[in-house]
Structure 1
Amino acid sequence: MSVPEPNKAPLNSTLDSRDGTSSTDDSEHEPTSPESAPISPNEDGADDFVRGFRFWTIIIGLSVTSLLASLEHTVITTAAPYILQDLDLRENFVWVTNAFFVCSTALAPLFGQLCNIFGRRWVFMAIVALFTLGSGICGGASSGWMLIAGRAIQGAGSGGIVLTTNIIVSDLCPLRKRGQYMAVILAIFGIGLAIGPFVGGAIAQNSSWRWVFYMNLPIGGLSLGIMFLFLRVGSVNEGSLTDRLRRIDVVGNGILMAGTTAILYALSYAGSIYPWSSWHTLVPMLMGLLGIGLFAWFELSGIPAEPVMPARLFKHRTSIVVFVNTFLNSVIYFWSLYFIPVYFQAVLLYSSTRAGYSLLPQAVAGIPGAIIAAVSLSRWGKFKPIHFVGFAMSTLGLGLCALLDKNTSIAEWAVFQIIIALGIGTVIDTLLPAFQAPLSEADQAVATSTWSFIRGFGSIWAVAIPAVIFNNRIDEQLSMVSDASARQLLGGGGAYQQASASFVEQFSPAVQEEIKDLYTSALHRVFWVGAIFSGLACLLVLVESDVPLRTQLETQYGIEKNKKERAEDVENGFGRSI
């Protein structure tokens, strides 16, 4: 039985808001189709976009689930010492975090494809159940490897939650309106990221570290209950179960997962356990890059019946630029998140707790930036100027961080963080609509999963790239430190691990000043290069074209309607508007 390509799925006709004629979208990439043509503010189709009780209940359910996913990104950081006391992980503790992130990234394209084949509702609920299962395994872990296995399952669920949330919002909201509602969910997600370290530390200190994971069980149950009752959306049931299973790009997904895992393995130990020039680093790195290349060839070969990342996603220059800039934005975000604390602890000699509080300007400022950008996108429908302003602010903020030293005031470093966070926040929630804009509505799920993959892939590289720059600069300037034992501990990639007030303060006052100057010099290099990365993204924005954002919603996966609502749609001439 032949299976129709996902971009050829039939769509109901919608009323063209400019001349009252009806049109059908059957092109793969035409951004100037009637439903995506520029529409004046008073003709934005707002009357067709109904936000009733079911709509808001789904948004609330997605927000609760996003909080569940976001907490596990950071809650482990402060609970780590307590876990290490109970479980013998040693250097393998890095995989408690890495297993989470690699599964979160590598499985995103598969989940997107499953959403197209089996519909959103059951895939979303299965993903939440998977995350909850992983949390239970982590909480009951009796060994280090059992904990790592649980974290891998958690990571798959967390990445799937973020991805399917984006897909469902895309199904519920016209393209031009999506940013507003994603900004609400993103704010909840950001709160989870911000409070995660405090929640983890409080639970581990006052109870047991196992409750860091067990607390997800009631939240996961609540999310499943809400979404079971209210997430009733359309689906496309074409063919038997066997026919639908055959549509899954098993080989492509397998190659992509293997390549991503190999790269992360290399990056996990490079510069710390093994030198970058070691075969332990080079072999998995080269195998991983070869795997990514093999994946690209396989997807273009025509062999898979339904590629997990079809080539048609990249036929428009805007999609290509946004794809690259999504990677760069992810790198820039973690670049600042991981290296500003080094400044606090190794140069200003803050405790780890105070360093955590000192990151609050960065954690908080990104949320209003995302909200302002989302509202602006909805009001004017132009993403190019938003992207330019966002990346320009990130470039300025990182450049200013290159001026940080031991005499910088609290007001100065707080403002520098706010500028970076506003820039990243401005961009983060407007990249996906820009990537989706040149594509047909039938490709929204696969586009979202592809975009989610590259964002996660960027986070994998986000620590490795600045770490290489940082360690190389440390080695170049190591002669600044007169104490031989300090030089031995700081050289060869040890400076990042030793970046704490307790390490610096064990030396004499004169050596402490030398070490602080050494860290300052290395951080200057890190932030200057970060500003260059952000500046490159800013220049790439100039290549984008402001593809009109559709204001009419055409989807087969919108909220299911009762008989009365369907009859009213037919009477009024509306297609699948919700």
Structure 2
Amino acid sequence: MSALTAQETVYGSSDDGKYVTYRAGGKPGKRLIRQPGEPGWVESFDRIPVIDFTNIDHPDVDVRRKLAAELAEAAENVGFWYAANTPVTDELVSATFAALEKFFSMPVEQRAEASWMKTPGARGYESFADVAANEGSGTLRESFIMGDDMTDPKQYSGPIPEGTKPQNIWPSAMPEFKDALDTYYSVLLPFARSILHLFALALGLEENALDHLHNFPMAALRALHYPPQVATESAAGFLAHADFSSFTLVLQGAKYGSGLEVLNMNGHWIPAPYIPGVTFTCNVGDYLQSLSSGRFVSTVHRVVNTSGNERYSLPFFFSPDPSVTLTPVVNPKTGSDYEAEYTDDPIGKQYVRRLMYARRFHPTAKRLAELEIPEKDWKYEYITGSQMIVARCSDVFGRRTALFKILLIFILGNIMCGFAQNAIWLFTCRGLSGIGAGGIISLSMVCVADLVPVRERGKLQGYTGFTVALGSGMGPLIGAAMASKISWRWAFWITPPMLALAIPILYLALPDINTAPGKSAWNQMRQVDYLGSILLFASSILMLVPISGGGSIFPWRSAVCMILIVLGVLLLVAFLAVERFHAAIPILPPRLFHHKDVNLILLATATHGWIYYGTMFFIPLYLQEVLTVSALRAGVLLLPMVFSQGLGLGLAGKVSTATGFIVPQMQFGYALGLVSCGLLYRFDVDTSTGYIVGILLLIGFAAGCTLQTSLVTMQNTAPEDLRAVITGARNTFRSFGGSIGLAAAGPIRSSVIRTALMQISSLTEQQRSAIIALGPSAIIGDVDSNTRSLMLQAMKKGIQAIYLGFMPLMAVSLIAVLFVNVVQQGRSAEVKQTYYGVLMAALKEQIGLDEADLIVSVTANTREDWSFGGGKAQFLNGDL
């Protein structure tokens, strides 16, 4: 077949030269138009190959492999091919196109009876006006969409919300239209599955290797009608784009010609005209590109009807199951720089996002915007519910035994996460790893408190906190890099080998601190507070699930939300009763709350948890939605806060060890946190990177001064036998405060943003809903610069409302810790004196004055005997 001449139609220009603009992977893009010999010119296709599918179901697998090799060459080098000699007969083609002509020639009122606006999944008839409203005035076509009738309850499950599943709708005035499309669909679906087998062979896999990803494929048939039009940008029948599918099959019609054009790597449009004897024009979609690690290319294309006649087209989109997460089935080619686009989200979630964007004027878009996406990782709810339980169990079984068991639980959970084949499997195992993660955090802090003297605890706990902060900052970046370069599964598999190595080291280095010596394993088992553990864990989960999922997974006023909260509260009351009257070794002993300082620090910890987790969540959101930086850059910009937090942890610990005083560092941290919250409120749409980094450094340092000092103060205040309980309680209160804070902040932010968006008259209600659910990027390419600026201001106001709430919360934390007794920890013995008392004793010894005679302001050198050393006193009526 001779090469076809490339058309050099230009959509726009830039400072670097002419380029073609398009939309691929759900994002806008552009490609420079290059000529042979120019910088950047590469060898690229200039024609669409023709493949004969006569042997697609040949009984000899070697014959099928030969056909698969031919398909692989086309999919790798072009991304498009013609399909000849397929199971679709000429008679079926003629009957199908005849049905299309009759339907689109009916009066518009009869076509509108089957309007896509009447079905939750946007199936049915889409008018010229509907298409133009959703995709811009440059798109000139009308269409009809149908798919499977979903007779199997397993279809469209998981990530697609109830009430939004696709459902077919048909015009009553033309019942034969349904029969024609159903017949065509029933022939095409098995043909598509046979092509899927060829792609598996093309990747060097078994023929059925991709079948489990397409048990209930998201397949759709779209009948398109293009009126005659002039070949200009503003009259394009279908603007430049790549397909959301595994692959697409477009039915050819002899009398209609073809307006399809394919973009090669040099920015040239290659026409794909009708060829006699060819049934389909086919192409690779984004999903198959992801599954193949970029070996098969999803090529940008467009439709322009230059024939001067009306034109009909019938594309069939074949995609994986809704619950499938697009993990590549093969590795990238050696030397490839391909980066996966869809490894994080299941296909159903992509469908929901596309429906909210591309069909944002559909009624379902508003519902989806309110529901967001019905998928959540509940790991942190399991962490919150497990920390006190695991800490208390270490009092029964011993620290080392408890730590080893919780490490094994975490390892098992992560390994199983990596092997997950569906969402339920993944989230269940995430819960298991969450229990392990919560236990590891608490027990590591308990072991440090057991092993080192009181005065050294601040320093060692600071080191422990620094490692946690470092892991929290670097972990997501490393995981994201592994997911894009290798597979998301390795984000789970990377930790078990390291932890497996740590277990024998811990066994040799960690003393067997048995808090219940001499007791048999049976007696230890009998002492476990099983009833209290079940009640605490269940109440935590039942309350945190609706708190963190309300407004996104289900409406706040829904029966599910109310029932879960009520049950959680009732189980919490039952838990407290069991701890008070029944448990031999309570998980949360009531006498813990007899200590004023413990209560004050728990209050400060809970409110600070609200701020801490809110900062970690909403600052990246501010960076992405207001400053429009990428998710990766937002993660990098957060690192200064993480590292300064580690610095604050280490410095506060060293000061505690050197002076014997812990509370002043904690009070300083909360005071600095209050200042930083006020500065955080000044973030704007044009805030410089330097200012942001500076404030984040301040926030991190303030948090570092409070995190471990609060823990050590509580450990030193309460009785020694409650050390593990104190640690678990502190961590639980902090996590619980964070969960409540995030749940409360979401609706506040949405309400403020919606109010601000209502003032932007150039936005529609559907656009406002899409912005709230997906951020300004959902429609930012469809609005002018003024509207864009107003949108970013609205997003800023939503974030600022959260920051404004941080200030009174931080003030509560600061006021609470100001009433905590300031005590000194001895080096060799836990001799506790008030800070004020130590200074007064030194002053009296040095100058012979009583407390009633003076007001003290001291800056004392750190010395073992706490002598006056550089102290300074001021009389009421004169200076000393």
TM-score range, shorter chain: 0.7 to 0.9
Contact 1:179–1:375, Cα closer than 8 Å, also in 2: yes
Q: For structure 1, which segment, 179-188 or 273-282, has the greater mean C-alpha deviation from structure 2 after superposition?
A: 273-282
Distance (Å, rounded) in 2 between the aligned partners of 1:541 and 1:515: 40
- Which of residues 454, 458, 463 is equivalent to 2:742? 463
Distance (Å, rounded) in 2 between the aligned partners of 1:271 and 1:155: 23
User: Aligned residue for 2:630?
Assistant: 351
SS at match of 1:304: coil
Q: 1:244 to 1:273 in 2, by over 3 A?
A: closer
- Which of residues 563, 568, 571 is equivalent to 1:291? 571
- Which of residues 766, 790, 806 is equivalent to 1:514? 790
Q: In the alignment, does 2:696 pair up with 1:420?
A: no
User: Aligned residue for 2:72?
Assistant: none
Q: 1:456 to 1:496 in 2, by over 3 A?
A: farther
Deviation of 1:119 (Å):
0.6
Deviation of 1:294 (Å):
3.1
Contact 1:482–1:511, Cα closer than 8 Å, also in 2: no
Contact 1:480–1:514, Cα closer than 8 Å, also in 2: no
User: Aligned residue for 1:244?
Assistant: 524
Contact 2:771–2:779, Cα closer than 8 Å, also in 1: no
Distance (Å, rounded) in 1 between the aligned partners of 2:573 and 2:341: 36
Distance (Å, rounded) in 1 between the aligned partners of 2:341 and 2:817: 40
What are the superposed Cα offsets for residues 301-332 of structure 1, whole Å, 9 maximum, x if unpaired? x2111111001111111000111111122211
- Which of residues 309, 312, 332 is equivalent to 2:588? 309
Give the length in aligned residue pairs. Answer: 473
What are the superposed Cα offsets for residues 76-112 of structure 1, whole Å, 9 maximum, x if unpaired? xx999414348989899876621x2122121112211
SS at match of 1:97: coil
Contact 1:173–1:553, Cα closer than 8 Å, also in 2: no
Distance (Å, rounded) in 1 between the aligned partners of 2:759 and 2:667: 40
Distance (Å, rounded) in 2 between the aligned partners of 1:551 and 1:298: 39
Q: In the alignment, does 2:430 pair up with 1:430?
A: no
Q: In the alignment, does 2:719 pair up with 1:440?
A: yes
Distance (Å, rounded) in 2 between the aligned partners of 1:495 and 1:334: 23
Distance (Å, rounded) in 1 between the aligned partners of 2:487 and 2:341: 12
Distance (Å, rounded) in 2 between the aligned partners of 1:530 and 1:506: 34
Q: Superposition pairs for residues 385-396 of structure 1, below 5 Å?
A: 385-396=664-675
What are the superposed Cα offsets for residues 24-43 of structure 1, whole Å, 9 maximum, x if unpaired? xxxxxxxxxxxxxxxxxxxx
State the one-letter code of the partner of 2:345: L
Contact 2:614–2:738, Cα closer than 8 Å, also in 1: no
Distance (Å, rounded) in 1 between the aligned partners of 2:719 and 2:389: 20
- Which of residues 342, 345, 359 is equivalent to 1:84? 345
Contact 1:348–1:406, Cα closer than 8 Å, also in 2: yes
Q: In the alignment, does 2:655 pair up with 1:376?
A: yes
Q: In the alignment, does 2:678 pair up with 1:399?
A: yes
Distance (Å, rounded) in 1 between the aligned partners of 2:487 and 2:825: 49
Distance (Å, rounded) in 2 between the aligned partners of 1:162 and 1:528: 31
Distance (Å, rounded) in 2 between the aligned partners of 1:328 and 1:552: 35
Contact 1:114–1:248, Cα closer than 8 Å, also in 2: yes
Which TM-score applies when normalising by structure 1? 0.77
Q: For structure 1, which segment, 372-381 or 235-244, has the greater mean C-alpha deviation from structure 2 after superposition?
A: 235-244
Distance (Å, rounded) in 1 between the aligned partners of 2:601 and 2:636: 33
Q: 1:239 to 1:80 in 2, by over 3 A?
A: farther
Distance (Å, rounded) in 1 between the aligned partners of 2:496 and 2:595: 43
Distance (Å, rounded) in 1 between the aligned partners of 2:440 and 2:474: 19
Q: What do you get for the CA RMSD once the two structures are aligned?
A: 2.6
Contact 1:129–1:224, Cα closer than 8 Å, also in 2: no
User: Aligned residue for 1:270?
Assistant: 550
What are the superposed Cα offsets for residues 143-170 of structure 1, whole Å, 9 maximum, x if unpaired? 2111112111111111111111011101
Q: In the alignment, does 2:825 pair up with 1:549?
A: yes
Contact 1:166–1:182, Cα closer than 8 Å, also in 2: yes
Q: 1:305 to 1:114 in 2, by over 3 A?
A: same
SS at match of 1:359: helix
Query: Identity of paired residues, percent?
Result: 25
Tell me which protein shows more helix as a share of its residues.
Answer: 1
Distance (Å, rounded) in 2 between the aligned partners of 1:184 and 1:84: 36
Distance (Å, rounded) in 1 between the aligned partners of 2:462 and 2:786: 49
User: Aligned residue for 1:143?
Assistant: 422
Tell me which protein shows more strand as a share of its residues.
Answer: 2
- Which of residues 780, 784, 794 is equivalent to 1:504? 780
Q: In the alignment, does 2:760 pair up with 1:488?
A: no
User: Aligned residue for 1:473?
Assistant: 752
Which has the bigger relative contact order, CA under 8 A and spacing at least 6?
Answer: 1
- Which of residues 639, 642, 661 is equivalent to 1:363? 642
Q: For structure 1, which segment, 345-354 or 146-155, has the greater mean C-alpha deviation from structure 2 after superposition?
A: 345-354
Distance (Å, rounded) in 2 between the aligned partners of 1:156 and 1:207: 27
Q: 1:221 to 1:396 in 2, by over 3 A?
A: same
Deviation of 1:489 (Å):
4.5
State the one-letter code of the partner of 1:134: G
Distance (Å, rounded) in 1 between the aligned partners of 2:643 and 2:780: 30
State the one-letter code of the partner of 1:499: G
Deviation of 1:396 (Å):
1.4
Distance (Å, rounded) in 2 between the aligned partners of 1:464 and 1:127: 29
User: Aligned residue for 1:46?
Assistant: none
User: Aligned residue for 2:450?
Assistant: 171
Distance (Å, rounded) in 2 between the aligned partners of 1:95 and 1:228: 39
Q: 1:502 to 1:363 in 2, by over 3 A?
A: farther
Q: In the alignment, does 2:493 pair up with 1:214?
A: yes
The unaligned stretches of length 5 or more in structure 1 are: 1-77, 555-578
What are the superposed Cα offsets for residues 165-194 of structure 1, whole Å, 9 maximum, x if unpaired? 011101111222112112222222222111
State the one-letter code of the partner of 1:475: R
State the one-letter code of the partner of 1:254: I
Deviation of 1:472 (Å):
2.4
Max Rg structure: 2
Distance (Å, rounded) in 2 between the aligned partners of 1:225 and 1:92: 45
Deviation of 1:503 (Å):
4.5
Distance (Å, rounded) in 2 between the aligned partners of 1:502 and 1:471: 16
Q: 1:299 to 1:525 in 2, by over 3 A?
A: same
Distance (Å, rounded) in 2 between the aligned partners of 1:311 and 1:384: 24
Q: In the alignment, does 2:467 pair up with 1:188?
A: yes
User: Aligned residue for 1:534?
Assistant: 810
Contact 1:391–1:534, Cα closer than 8 Å, also in 2: yes
